[in-house]
A and B are shown apart, each in its own frame.
Chain A
Amino acid sequence: MGDFAGLAWLFDAGAALLLNRPDPALLEAAAVVLPELPAQQGATLAVGEVAAEAVAEAVALSVEDWSDLFFSPRSGRYLPPLESVFREGRLSGEAAWNARQAYEAAGFEPAQLDMDPLWRAIPHPDHLGFELAFVSALLRCADEDAAGAAALHATARAFHAERIAPWAGAYGLKLAEAARSPLYKAAGALLQELAAPLAAR
């Protein structure tokens, strides 16, 4: 397993954070790897009432962020992870069209991913979670197919440069600012990391 497998997992993790509703398991997994996230946030293995309450509190705060940031236009903190919205100020704009074209060209089907039903109901192709998952899939395939690796890497770099790098960092910064929960503050930091040019890695 090479470095690209690790990168593929990072992009996968970023996608999972944006596409899945927080629960204790997600927090636990996130706490293992997100440096900014306090370890106890996901400590479901901790024993005792206090620890359980802390976990429940962390999950509740994260769910509140999940709803306010991604689904409630009236929350005052609405920040949907949609490229067209962030870059073009509209839904389903050119970014969505271009992302969908890229998926179709590659045979990538975002609908097959694991995600919360609310996102499944709204399959915006320019959802940052889908874009990250696509890069993850490209890198993963490259890792398993030496012959096609060059083409897959090239596609990943190009897609990243065109669809992720221009906005994921700025979006991550805003997400970290708007979030109240450590989970999404850390997710924001991760997105800023993932926005760094793929070619430089």
Chain B
Amino acid sequence: MSIDRRTVLKGLGAGAALTVFASGYKPTLKAIIDPPKQTVASGPSLAPEATVDKATGEVTFNRQQYLAGSICLGCTSICGVRVRVDNESGSVLRVSGNPYHPLAAQPPAPYEASLADTVRALSGHQGSGLARRATACGRGNAVLDKLKDPYRVLTPLKRVGPRGSGKWEPISLERLVEEISTGGDLFGEGQVEGLAALLDGKPIDPASPELGTRANQLACIFGYANGRMQFFQRFAAGAFGTINIANHQGNCGLTMRAGYAAMLGDFQEYPHLKPDYANCTFYLSVGSAPANAGNPFMYQAAHAARARAEGGPRLVVVDPVLTNSDNACCGAKTEWVPVRPGTDGALVMGMIRRILETRGYQAGHLACAGPLAAKNAGEAAWTNAAHLVVADPAAKDFGQFLRARELSPEAAENALLARDVATGDLVAHDQAQGPCSIFFSGSVTTPARTVAVKTALQLLLEEAQSKTLAEYSKACGVPQADIVRLADEFASNGRTAVADCHGGTMHAGGFYTAYAVALLNALAGNLNRKGGTGIGGGKFKDFGPGPRYNLADFPKKAKPGGVRLSRQGFPYEKTSEFKRLVESGAKPYPARAPWYPFSNSVQSEYLPSALSAYPYPLKAMLFWASNPVYGQAGLMNTSAEQLKDPKRIPLMVCVDAFMTETAALCDYVLPDVALYEGFGCATPWAGPLSKVSSVAWPCVDSPVARTPEGDPVCMESFLIALAKRLGLPGFGPEAVADAQGGKHPLERPEDWYHRAVANMAFDAKPVADATQEDMEASGVSKLAESLARVLTPEEAAKAASVYCRGGRFEPVEKGWQGELLAARWEKPVQIWNENVARAINSMTGKRLKGTAAWIEPAFCEGTPVRAVYPEEKWPFLVVSTKSQLMSAGAVGSKRLHAIRPESEVAVCEADAARLGLRTGDKVRLETPDGSVEARLTVRLGVMEGVVAVEHGYGHWALGAKEMSFGAKTLPASPLRGAGAASNLLGLKDPFRKGFSTLGDIAVGANARNALPARIVKL
């Protein structure tokens, strides 16, 4: 032993620095000497849920447990899970994937299979266990901790201190509903207008009638399509009648959605595309890293992993930060292309230029100007590449398509003109039988005029050629040779090359970046094709008018109208404000804040606009399962005090299972069911190509307070009570019609969800009745009484079958029809989008570009962010990175914290060396409007000049701060505040009046990436 006695004796005098007992902990360990009576320990393994005879395959269920199908809400992918519950304690034992669900199992179990069949398939019987396994991701496995989170909201609460003080007292649901309905001096701070007063039908501002009625002064903010949003929408829009209802899109992936909406020509439904992961051969992922992020996360991660292991698509990930999508083991099958934050659009426009100049596009596809031409050419989609756009800046319709009626009054109203290749004549697109010219710049003559025109693809080419490849390369930091190589490789893969993007484009030039990525797919002609891109398989009928019940319509349903507080979907030029300015001779531009004529659900504008009272003040906000105060970059760090000011937003109510940062700033907080405690009918994003409808039911009891009917106090029971108190339509007795005209009540959550599931069960060919064995094994037998109360016996038996399986799922092979996808997008692909071209930037009065472009991240009036915050002073750019495990809402899960206690804040070795920084150093990361302290990681895989901040950490609520509930005080949990919150680094827009956060110039999406920053060593 090299440590001798002398050393030890020396060490004994070394003091407190080298001991773990210095603080005085002195265990006696008496139990060793006098052991207490032994208790039986069960060991770390759970009793199995079933046993399978390996030889015969006979399944014997463990009746102490049941296997409930449900929906994972650990992130927004809404995968299907199988929740294993202890029958006696009602506790969740473990969570795994739902074997029937395409997001959890590839391939999933046949829908006809019994639960016993699925258990057998997961066993060693006939060696099928691994091949048929169904999985939940690391987060999905661990998030069940949240069910027993000590910081859960369990009863309705009313603040008793100033807003944001963390002091609450319990209040009954009935009292809460009464107070927010009638208003009054609710907090001893003055009068608060109640919700009932907003239903008087009066205009917000008689001088600006377009703003709508006072019902719009209630804004209803929710999270995402978690299976329950239709109920929230029914209340907010259908019953209360406010137009101000917004999901989290503006703070999440709106740029991506808007880019696809522009490409697909639908700014109403905002559809988007996903690759056919199973069959594509080249997958360019821009700011969305399969295996690390994106949506649906687990589904694409599984396909990406299989592709890498078994051969398949080559995966190229464009990202400032190396993610788990690429590693050395994959060899050339995967590639990481580091890109400067906010400049991925330059890379993609460089690729587009190269593809167009080398004819790497699908010319035959693009030349199909209409449905007839596409059909004749055997194409699965068609584009407006050959449509003629008016190119004369002096023309009134500059930037708009040349209408066929200008040539011929008999033409269809929406027919547009193209040039027939065979004849050289102009032809209405819906009459074109053969190819049309895709590149043309010249003039055409109609009876009315001779006007300069260009084809849509010509305009894209000119936009792409507005910069050289060298300029694109310089902007994005990707070598020119790599841009060329990627473009050539993309083109060489033909129709099975796909491109996709997501949250990485959430920067101040994100919309045009996403549009460019989307148009790569258009050039490849891959839409609706096997191995290409598709809109997803959709779902079975549920909340709409269905085969059994109509959950969409009801008598006296409100028709919300007016201008949204976010100023989305309404042009500034149509406002009274604009007209008054023009009439008075004043300059109408810039507006007080940007207007977004073709945007959607700009959640990020709601709180700043409410604080600014523009275009009108709000009276109340209702949040449900959404946390914009944490999730919106730049909000809390620039507007915290104003958010606490009741004079700016008089009434703020939140329904959430947890005391989030947003809930903590509200006046009233109501509990909600969490995870597997509630009902839900959800559909995954566009990834799966066959129909997928997931369902959840209360397979475990919720610990929250109960209504007199015995239901948990949750979003649904609260809104039912509120609607009834306010006398709103669509709730209460006779609120739901069946297919025969019968009326049924909507008094309890089950009244809504059982009927949606009945619709699902009876859509097309009805499902088989549930068997008793499946009901017992899945725990759905506990629902029997409830089902019998709401549904007919025939409906109940089939709805139970859907509940037993955690949803209804079409066989995955139905996703393809030969070489095409079964679910196809029928509208034309928009190489040039005239709605975008028609839009005017309300801060400048200038029109927006009508096709994909490289737009440097800029403030609302076009000044580049870097022009205000130059590199010399702010040498870094911040990007938020998706955590593989933690999500903002999963904080508090012990299992996740055990693996990943704090976020990674990473820089590359070159930057660290330059600044004298090392891994482990404490630093302050500063942007012009915010700062966070963090522990630095220095590693390979971060682009030079970039700080990567892992999102989801650094909370200041959710238990990170002390809270009191009446006499009870919950101490702060430092673990929940560990790490850095990337959104505290967000910027405001100095070119706007009032409150703001930096947003995309075209659609207003919150910019959380490409933020100028510097690092200060502490």
Contact = CB atoms under 8 A, between A and B. Distances in A.
Contact of B27 (A101, A114, A141, A193): A141
A153 B152 CA distance: 45
Interface string A148-192: 100110010000000000000000000000000000000001100
Interface string A53-77: 0000000110110111001101110
Interface string B1-42: 111010111111111011111110101111111010000010
Contacts of A36: 2
Given A107-B31, A148-B32, A12 B21 contact: yes
Contact of A137 (B29, B35, B918, B975): B29
B898 A91 contact: yes
A40 interface: no
A72 B937 contact: yes
Contacts of B405: none
Interface in B19-72: 19-23, 25, 27-33, 35, 41, 43-44
Interface string A83-95: 0000000011110
A153 to B, nearest CB: 10
Q: Is the interface of A mostly helix, strand, loop or mixed?
A: helix
B1018 interface: no
Nearest to B20: A113
A147 B33 contact: yes
Contacts of A29: 11, 14-15, 17-18
A81 interface: no
Given A74-B904, A75-B919, A129 B7 contact: no
| Most chain A CB neighbours (cut-off 10 Å) among B9, B11, B41, B918 | B11
B937 A67 contact: yes
B926 interface: no
Given A32-B14, A67-B919, A20 B20 contact: yes
A46 interface: no
B29 A12 contact: no
Contact of A17 (B18, B31, B901, B918): B18
A35 interface: yes
B899 interface: yes
Interface size class of B (residues with CB under 8 A): 35 or more
B900 to A, nearest CB: 8
B19 A16 contact: yes
A19 B21 CA distance: 12
Contact of B32 (A5, A67, A138): A138
B828 interface: no
Contacts of A190: 3
A145 B33 contact: yes
B28 A107 contact: yes
Contacts of A64: 918-920, 938
A117 interface: yes
Contact of B12 (A6, A71, A106): A6
Interface string A121-149: 11010000100010011100100010110
Interface string B60-89: 000000000000000000000000000000
Interface in A1-20: 1, 3, 5-7, 9-10, 12-13, 15-17, 19-20
Interface residues of A, number: 73
Contacts of A155: 29, 32
Given A29-B14, A29-B18, A196-B1, A152 B29 contact: yes
B939 interface: yes
A141 B918 contact: no
Nearest to A137: B27
| Most chain B CB neighbours (cut-off 10 Å) among A6, A36, A133 | A6
A15 B18 CA distance: 8
A67 B18 contact: no
A51 interface: no
A60 to B, nearest CB: 5
B897 interface: yes
A198 interface: no
Contact of A30 (B5, B18, B20, B901): B18
B90 interface: no
A36 B7 CA distance: 12
A25 B7 contact: no
B902 interface: yes
A20 to B, nearest CB: 7
A6 B13 CA distance: 11
Contacts of A137: 21, 27, 29
B935 to A, nearest CB: 7
Nearest to A200: B1
A114 B19 contact: yes
A115 B20 contact: yes
Contacts of B975: 121
| Most chain B CB neighbours (cut-off 10 Å) among A30, A35, A71, A189 | A71
Contacts of B920: 60, 63-64, 66-68
Contacts of B32: 105-106, 138, 141, 148, 151-152, 155
A111 B912 CA distance: 35
Contacts of B941: 74
B602 to A, nearest CB: 35
Contacts of B471: none
Interface string B117-153: 0000000000000000000000000000000000000
Contact of B33 (A71, A129, A151): A151
A189 B21 contact: no
B921 to A, nearest CB: 7
A63 B29 contact: no
A19 B22 CA distance: 13
A141 B28 CA distance: 6
A72 B27 contact: no
B3 A32 contact: no
Contacts of B901: 71, 118, 121-122
B978 A121 contact: yes
Interface of B: 1-3, 5, 7-15, 17-23, 25, 27-33, 35, 41, 43-44, 897-899, 901-902, 904, 918-921, 935, 937-941, 974-975, 978
7 contacts: A33-B7, A60-B921, A63-B918, A72-B937, A107-B30, A112-B25, A137-B29
Interface of A: 1, 3, 5-7, 9-10, 12-13, 15-17, 19-20, 25-26, 28-30, 32-36, 60-61, 63-64, 66-68, 71-72, 74-76, 91-94, 96-97, 101, 105-109, 112-115, 117-118, 121-122, 124, 129, 133, 136-138, 141, 145, 147-148, 151-152, 155, 189-190, 193, 196
Given A10-B3, A13-B18, A136-B21, 16 more contacts: A6-B11, A9-B11, A10-B8, A16-B20, A25-B15, A25-B17, A35-B3, A60-B918, A63-B918, A67-B920, A72-B919, A72-B937, A108-B27, A121-B975, A141-B28, A151-B33
The 3 closest A-B pairs by CB, nearest first: A33-B11, A67-B920, A148-B33
